[in-house]
Amino acid sequence: MFMGEFNHSIDMKGRLIIPAKFRDELGESFIVTRGLEQCLFVYPMSEWRRIEEKLKALPFTRKDARAFTRLFFSGASVCELDKQGRVSIGNGLREYAGIEKDCVVIGVSTRLEIWDSSAWQHYFEESEASFGDISESLLDADS
């Protein structure tokens, strides 16, 4: 399981150090793609395959299913860590997430998310105020 929050920087060549505690679980190769709320999603191959199967099962006749799968898969890249534990993130993905230098890598259960630092701070501040209400509606729904 991925969890935690780590501040890092992307170097001039577009490389980001993946926190050491996440490297083993990511494996030798993994997927980086466009996420939601303008962050990047990072999936180990096993989780990527599970999501791919779910998305393949969506009816291609639904416009929203076609749009989502196009955007999700077209931004995806198979990545590997170099010997220093860095991943190279392409220009298109960095532009999508608005990442120029400072970023935050967060663990979110089955995936990592990579955020521009200021975008993460803004999102966190906005969401923190409603954290209690969100938890009540999601976690108490089965009660």
Q: What domains are defined for the chain?
A: 2-139 (3.40.1550.20)
**How confident is the chain (143 residues) per 10-residue block, as mean pLDDT?**
96 97 95 97 98 94 94 96 97 97 98 98 89 74 54
- Give the torsion sign (CA, 54, 69, 112, 125): negative
pLDDT at 30: 98
Distance between terminal CA atoms of the chain? Answer: 26
Counting beta carbons within 10 angstroms of the beta carbon of residue 108, is it exposed (0 to 12), middle (13 to 18) or buried (19 or more)? middle
